[in-house]
Amino acid sequence: MSYTERFTEVHYPLDADYADSFAIGTHTSAYVSLANYHRAIFVINVGDIAAGGALDAKLLQATTTAGAGAKDITGKAITQLVQADGDGDGILAIELQTEEMDVTNLFDCVALELTVTSAAVEFSYIVYGIEPRFPPTGTTNWTEVVT
């Protein structure tokens, strides 16, 4: 990103889930295509973790936005956050370069899988497509851009 480029010209919000308390279970974002991006970043904002609760997060790849052939992306998982360790109230990021995906077998879609165990966890996330192959990116997923 050069100094003159605006953040919103080279970072596009592909998916988001807003702050909420999530119950025990697996919560998966929408699968989004990275065909038009060189990179992506998944930013997770973790709030309170209920007593005994834990949070895991990892990236999945698929060949379609419907999740066809979904499988893990090696090395793209956080260290588990556990309430007993005092974790929570933090910002986590998982960065991905598209060449880290199984592009040979046409995997170009990605999702964030968050697993809550033992007790509820408050979190939100946003997925950005970064370094568009054909800049600038659109602005339709932004609610407002002030420059």
CATH of the domain at 36: 2.60.120.380
Note whether residue 52 is domain-resident: yes
Note whether residue 53 is domain-resident: yes
Stretch 79-102: mean pLDDT: 88
Q: What angle do CA 25, 72, 65 make, to 5 degrees?
A: 85
Note whether residue 95 is domain-resident: yes
Stretch 74-101: mean pLDDT: 89
Note whether residue 106 is domain-resident: yes
**Parent domain of 88:** 16-132
Note whether residue 147 is domain-resident: no
Q: Which residues are within 8 A (CB) of 61 and not within 5 positions of it... i.e. 6 or more apart?
A: 70, 71, 72, 73, 101, 102, 107, 108, 109, 110
Query: Which pLDDT tens digit goes with each residue over 11-70?
Result: 999 999 999 999 999 999 999 999 999 999 999 999 999 989 999 999 999 999 999 999
Q: What is the number of domains present in the chain?
A: 1
Note whether residue 9 is domain-resident: no
pLDDT at 143 over 70: yes
